[in-house]
Amino acid sequence: MNLLESWHFFSYDLGSLNVDEYLECDVKPVRLAILGLGTVGGGALKLLKENAAEIKRRTGREIEITHVGTRRPRPDLDLPASVKQSSDLMDIVRQPDVDVVVEVMGGIHPAYEVIQEAIKHGKQVVTANKALLAEYGNELFKLADDHHVQIAYEAAVAGGIPIIKVMREGLAANKIDWLAGIINGTGNFILTEMREKGRAFADVLKEAQELGYAEADPTFDVEGIDAAHKLTLLASIAFGIPLQFDKVFTEGISKITAQDVKYAEDLGFRIKHLGIARRAETGIELRVHPTLIPEDQLIANVNGVKNAVLVQANAVGPTLYYGAGAGAGPTASAVVADVVDIVRDISYTEDGAGTIPQLAFEALTDLPILPREEMTTGYYIRINAEDQTGVLADVTTILSRAGISIDAIMQQPRLKDLIPIVILTDPVKESKMDEALQQIQALPVIHGEIVRIRLESLDN
């Protein structure tokens, strides 16, 4: 037993001051309040206990949970008697025996109000709440700056992958060109099953719900809202721009058919639901949509519920970060990594607010976010045409007149009296594609609605 341990062993309370505090300020534990005891909160508690020795070896300090915020007491968690359980969250975040508030309840309210109160009381904050930060982050980060505390949010994006740290610090020498991420595990599970087993969207969604991957209301996942929240955060720290969730163009995967998944594969592509943030000449593109990507790209081979983020930066080139995007263990890994950072910051910086700007940049710029019509992407187009001479000529002439280059064209075997024609195009401004497709749609030989899925080569 070393001296540090023996001190702790014999420590006892002297009113508000304990012996550790009295003897040596460095051995004073950092005190946490954990708000929310769901999957993530439970996972964080378990991890802090299980890895306590390793974490103490890393930080040199004890981490002590002094409060948990929970609607009803949870005797099943077997917490030490010293941990105070309460449903009054506002009261918890005002307590003097709390250094760090870990908000893992989710939802906008009351998380927003509780975090504000915590900041005003000088607490460091850790949160996994992507919706809250994407929608109210600008206000919260400003409040935190004003009160010289930090809001750490590694768990808000891509679960256990330390992508926030990578972007804010690891790639700090770079100007980021673009990033593309599989940042919703449910959506990736569905698309993977559709491709590997030729199954239909609705069928796989039902299974995902039964497996607990998808919520009863799957809109957040499959319509891309969850991914748009995460993309909002990633874009802000990539380019140093304010959080602008309302400007993300978002398209879900619910209209993707097994047929298009198959055709894409025949052409050497996979369909992934990507969040893409790109620095274009006239502004920033923020978009979440199904995307054809070449099958030999590493990120095309990220399957099941796994997440990955591919970042293109001007010095390092492309780098990719892969891992579990959800679940108790991986999310707790990110939450507790933030706690470890804060423990180190409390030990070595004056205010514990750390050394990294909250949104990666000391000064944010107000680069314009491009409207969809101004974005540039390649396209997969599928049309169903009558089997008549001249159809291909008509279609390709319209594309050519709109200045759209065709990269590949594939006529599929007749299906229900119609010929499916698939066209891959080079990157083109969306407004041009809108116009061309309107004209093609108006051709009398074209039946049903044209299918358009964006395509990215991800190679520069």
Cα angle value 366/371/375 (rounded, 5°): 105
- Which distant-in-sequence residues (6+ apart) come within 8 Å of 350 by Cβ? none
Q: Which is nearer to a second copy, 210 or 350 (CB)?
A: 350
Buried-exposed string 41-71: b where 16+ CB fall within 10 A, e elsewhere:
bbbbbebbeeeeeebbeebebbbbbbbbbbe
Q: How far is the CB of 120 from a second copy (least distance, A)?
A: 22
Stretch that binds a second copy, among 64-72, 244-252, 281-289, 308-316 (CB under 8 A): 308-316
Q: How far is the CB of 51 from a second copy (least distance, A)?
A: 5
Annotated binding site for NADP(+): 35-42
Query: Would residue 221 be called left, alpha or beta, if left means φ above 0 and alpha means ψ between -120 and 50 degrees?
Result: alpha
Q: Which is nearer to a second copy, 59 or 116 (CB)?
A: 59
Count the Cβ atoms, other than its own, within 10 Å of residue 456: 21
Annotated binding site: 35-42, 130, 215
Is residue 42 involved in binding a second copy (CB under 8 A)?
no
Of residues 302, 326, 424, 458, which one binds a second copy by CB under 8 A? 302
Active-site pick, 123, 230, 272, 306: 230
Q: Is 72 exposed, middle or buried (0-12, 13-18, 19+ CB in 10 A)?
A: exposed
Of residues 314, 388, 397, 400, which one binds a second copy by CB under 8 A? 314
Annotated binding site for NADPH: 130
How many Cα atoms are found within 13 Å in the side-chain-facing hemisphere of 164? 29
Binding mask 58-97 for a second copy (x = CB under 8 A): xxx-------------------------------------
How many Cα atoms are found within 13 Å in the side-chain-facing hemisphere of 274? 28
Phi then psi for 282, rounded to 5 degrees? -105, 0
Is residue 150 involved in binding a second copy (CB under 8 A)?
no
Is residue 154 involved in binding a second copy (CB under 8 A)?
yes
- Which distant-in-sequence residues (6+ apart) come within 8 Å of 277 by Cβ? 178, 179, 231, 234, 235, 238, 239, 284, 285, 286
Of residues 344, 372, 429, 432, which one binds a second copy by CB under 8 A? 344
Q: Is 255 a catalytic residue?
A: no
Of residues 13, 57, 282, 393, which one binds a second copy by CB under 8 A? 57
Q: Please give the residue ranges that form the binding site for a second copy (CB under 8 A).
A: 2, 43, 47, 50-51, 54-55, 57-60, 154, 159-162, 165-166, 169-175, 240, 298, 301-302, 313-324, 329-330, 332-337, 339-341, 344-345, 347-350, 354-357, 360-363, 365
